[in-house]
Amino acid sequence: MADMTKRVPIAEQEPQVRAHNFDEVCLGYTEEEAVEEAKRCLNCKNPRCVGGCPVSIRIPEFIHAVTERDFKKAYEIISDSSSLPAVCGRVCPQETQCEGVCIRGIKGEAVAIGKLERFVADWARENGIHPEPPKEKNGHKVAVIGSGPSGLTCAGDLAKMGYDVTIFEALQKAGGVLVYGIPEFRLPKDKVVAAEVNNVKGLGVDIETDVVIGKSLTIDDLMEEFGFEAVYIGSGAGLPRFMGIPGETANGVFSANEVLTRSNLMKAYEDKDTPIIHGKKVVVVGGGNVAMDAARTALRLGAEVHIVYRRSEKELPARAEEVHHAKEEGIHFDLLQNPVEILADDKGWVKGIRVIKMQLGEPDASGRRRPVPIEGSEYEIDCDTVIMALGTSPNPLIASTTKGLDTNKKGCILAKEEDGETSKTAVYAGGDAVTGAATVILAMGAGKAAAKGIDAYFKNKK
What pTM does this model have?
0.92
Count of CB atoms situated within 10 Å of the CB of 320: 12
Distance (Å, rounded) from C-alpha 41 to C-alpha 6? 12
Residue 421's beta-bridge partner residues?
428
Q: Give residue 213's identity as a one-letter amino acid code.
A: I
The alpha carbon dihedral of 371, 376, 381, 387 has a sign of positive
Fold of 238-389: FAD/NAD(P)-binding domain (3.50.50)
Count of CB atoms situated within 10 Å of the CB of 3: 9
Q: What is the pLDDT along the chain (462 residues), one digit of tens a residue?
A: 578 889 999 999 999 999 999 999 999 999 999 999 999 999 999 999 999 999 999 999 999 999 999 999 999 999 999 999 999 999 999 999 999 999 999 999 999 999 999 999 999 999 999 998 888 999 999 999 999 999 999 999 999 999 999 999 999 999 999 999 999 999 999 999 999 999 999 999 999 999 999 999 999 999 999 999 999 999 999 889 999 999 999 999 999 999 999 888 877 677 767 778 789 999 999 999 999 999 999 999 999 999 999 999 999 999 999 999 999 999 999 999 999 999 999 999 999 999 999 999 988 887 888 999 999 999 999 999 999 999 899 988 999 999 999 999 888 999 999 999 999 999 999 999 999 888 899 999 999 999 999 999 999 986
Looking at the chain, the domain(s) classified CATH 3.50.50.60 span 139-236+393-459, 238-389
Count, in order, helices (H) and strands (E) of the chain.
17, 16
Q: How far is CA 330 from CA 211, 227, 313, 337, in A?
A: 41, 54, 16, 19
Distance (Å, rounded) from C-alpha 126 to C-alpha 99? 26
CATH classification of 139-236+393-459, choosing from 3.50.50.60, 3.20.20.70, 3.40.50.300, 3.10.105.10?
A: 3.50.50.60
Q: Give residue 291's identity as a one-letter amino acid code.
A: A
Strands 239-240 and 392-393: antiparallel
3-class SS of residue 454: helix
Whether 82 and 57 have beta carbons less than 8 Å apart is answered as yes
3-class SS of residue 348: coil
CATH classification of 9-125, choosing from 3.90.550.10, 1.10.580.10, 1.10.1060.10, 3.40.1590.10?
A: 1.10.1060.10
Whether 187 and 84 have beta carbons less than 8 Å apart is answered as no
Looking at the chain, the domain(s) classified CATH 1.10.1060.10 span 9-125
Q: How far is CA 457 from CA 101, 142, 146, 157, in A?
A: 34, 12, 21, 15
Whether 430 and 399 have beta carbons less than 8 Å apart is answered as no
If we measure between CA atoms, which residue out of 115, 57, 112, 50 comes closest to residue 89? 115
